[in-house]
Amino acid sequence: MKSRIWLFLVSMLIPFSIQAQEIALQLYSLRNEMKVDPVKYHQLINQWGISALEGGGTYGMSQDEYNKLLAENKLRIVGVGADYNKLKTDPQSILAEAKKYGAKFATCYWIPHAEGPISLEEVKQATDLFNQAGEIFAKEGVTLTYHPHGYEFANSGTGTPMDYMLANAKNFKFNMDVFWVKMGGGDPLAIMKANPGKFPQLHLKDRKKGTPGSPDGRGDVETNVVLGTGDIDIAGLIKEAKKQGTAFLVIEDESSKSVEQIPQSVAFIKKHL
């Protein structure tokens, strides 16, 4: 009898562990398509089996109209953008945007700096800002995350700006874009393993084999390929995400082939979850 009860409890727990990671979509992937027909493409996202979105805009609709479109397609915004300058001057406006959708994450995607790699001093200033704003956000149930973009990996001999940020992130976490980390010379999986618990979101984006790196956070978006077909260990990252309890595996495909590639990437993630 006891063994049967134990097996029942285990069987009840397994589905929850499998579903700990949810597939999401960064709506920037459909930035061009949304200009043409946002209704059609929100419907298509639903058909792909995705319900969680990173976004924030309303595509020319009123807020009520956009909320209705989301509800009709069983979609929800789980993360919004956090502009760096707004974090400095008006963090409450970002927090209000997140709370409007019930989003639990706000992500800063870029630290303003001169073209090329970022300096350690600039990263120190950004880290201080993120810690200050992150403390404010956390009190309201929103996690501030930073999205590395590849310009944080210039090695000074004592480490990289990214090393400093990871070591000193007290009130914020990371939404790691594995493509851009790879472009900057970082190893996304090694970084994740060395910093467990700091990655509640991952931007899963694979890179065409043979693509040269870039130290400035820029590159050819047409080198974004279907997950599992490039030179990034996406399967290994999904495995580590499961181990660490990463909440959202976010597909971002910046290429002109995103509509074709996204459902294939969804299938690859599901195969490894």
**Which of 231, 242, 191, 232 is CA-nearest to residue 17?**
242
pTM over cut 0.85: yes
Cα–Cα distances in Å, from 61 out to 64, 81, 93, 104, 235? 8, 19, 20, 23, 38
Structurally, how many domains does the chain consist of?
A: 1
What CATH number does the domain containing 220 carry? 3.20.20.150
In a domain, 1, yes or no: no
In a domain, 14, yes or no: no
In a domain, 138, yes or no: yes
273 residues of the chain, pLDDT tens digit each: 444 443 344 344 434 334 479 999 999 999 999 999 999 999 999 999 999 999 989 999 999 999 999 999 999 999 999 999 999 999 999 999 999 999 999 999 999 999 999 999 999 999 999 999 999 999 999 999 999 999 999 987 789 999 999 999 999 999 999 999 999 999 999 999 999 999 999 999 999 999 999 999 999 999 999 999 999 999 999 999 999 999 999 999 999 999 999 999 999 999 999
In a domain, 46, yes or no: yes
